[in-house]
Amino acid sequence: MTTALLIIHGLVAVALLGAISHQTLATWAPAHARPGSFFSRFRAVPSASFANAIVVLYAVSALLGGIVYLYFRVDIRPDLERAGHWHALGLFDLKEHFVAIGLALLPAYWVCWRRPRAAEPPRTRGALTSILAFIVWWSFLIGHVVNNIRGFGS
Amino acid sequence: MTSSHAFRRFAFAYGLAFAVLYVVALKLDLALITVYPTLGVVLPGTHHSRDVAGPSMAFLAPAMYWYGWTATAALGALMFGFIAALLPEQWTRRFWLGWFWLAPALAMIACVYLTMPWFRL
């Protein structure tokens, strides 16, 4: 059951990673990119349409992570402590903190993309998107590192 | 005042307040609840094993505070969010929008600082 939840958590995270990376690159990529280039094709995609999916995927991923975290604390973390993986545990703690902060940013992020105002500087939207992208990438990579320390199914 | 404008103010205030309050909750160890996953028990407030038994209890019944810190920050941020939603539009226009992304970024840096003890072990 835990392994199934972890795999679903990972799959949702992959989808989220793709969506947020695409949106972040599209946000910051130069507007004067050469026609037909990678960046110009990236910008041709309406970034705002990713916002709903990113909010839902982030929320679902955080929820699944919150459930799996219970098993991690009981079954995995004591072993990591005994093995002295203090750095990995520290990095994982940061993942917890970042995910919580990112979760609370979702309403503001959604408003910036779906209810933008003309007077609002695009920097706010870009910055919020970048922060979320950083959190998603961090969480994905650290989650994998911690998962791989013990090995799958061990 | 439309509901859309009120939600916008709520959303921005919530994100900012949560980031600040989360760091406060983490630093002061203010968990609204403490979860004991092996026992299936959730206690209100922050509890450490030394409060009730010897330190060895931490291995027998590990306590989890992350849910509690998150709940503390979320509850506080909800209050700030609702207050911001009720404020007149012209009051909130003076607020620099940069705080809405700068505060979470600074909160993340503060979390790194508070997590440093793990890296000194």
For chain A, 154 residues long, the average pLDDT of each consecutive 10-residue run is: 91 95 84 72 76 96 95 90 91 96 96 81 89 97 87 56
Give the pLDDT confidence score for residue B56 in this predicted structure: 55
Which of the two residues, B3 and B99, has the higher pLDDT score?
B99
In this model, does residue B1 exceed pLDDT 50?
no
Cβ neighbours of residue A91 closer than 8 Å, sequence gap 6 or more? A142, A145, A146
Chain B interface, Cβ < 8 Å to A: 4, 7-8, 10-12, 14-15, 18-19, 22, 26, 35, 37-38, 59, 62, 64, 66-67, 69-70, 73-74, 77, 97-98, 100-102, 104-105, 107-108, 111-112, 115-119, 121
Tokens coding B14: 């919530």
Which of the two residues, B94 and B74, has the higher pLDDT score?
B74
ipTM of the complex: 0.89
Which of the two residues, B49 and B32, has the higher pLDDT score?
B32
pTM of the model: 0.90
Dihedral over Cα of A116, A119, A120, A121: its sign: positive
Give the pLDDT confidence score for residue B110 in this predicted structure: 97
User: What is the DSSP track for chain B?
Assistant: --HHHHHHHHHHHHHHHHHHHHHHHHHHT--SEEEETTTTEEEES---HHHHS-TTHHHHS--B-HHHHHHHHHHHHHHHHHHHHHS-HHHHHTS-TTHHHHHHHHHHHHHHHHHHHHHT-
Query: Which tens digit of pLDDT belongs to each residue from A9-54?
Result: 999 999 999 999 989 988 887 666 677 777 777 666 777 888 999 9
Q: Give the whole-angstrom CA distance, residue B14 versus residue A110.
A: 13
Give the pLDDT confidence score for residue B19 in this predicted structure: 97
Q: Give the whole-angstrom CA distance, residue B87 versus residue B6.
A: 8
A interface test, pick of B21, B108, B112 with most A CB neighbours within 10 Å: B108
Q: Give the whole-angstrom CA distance, residue A31 versus residue B90.
A: 33
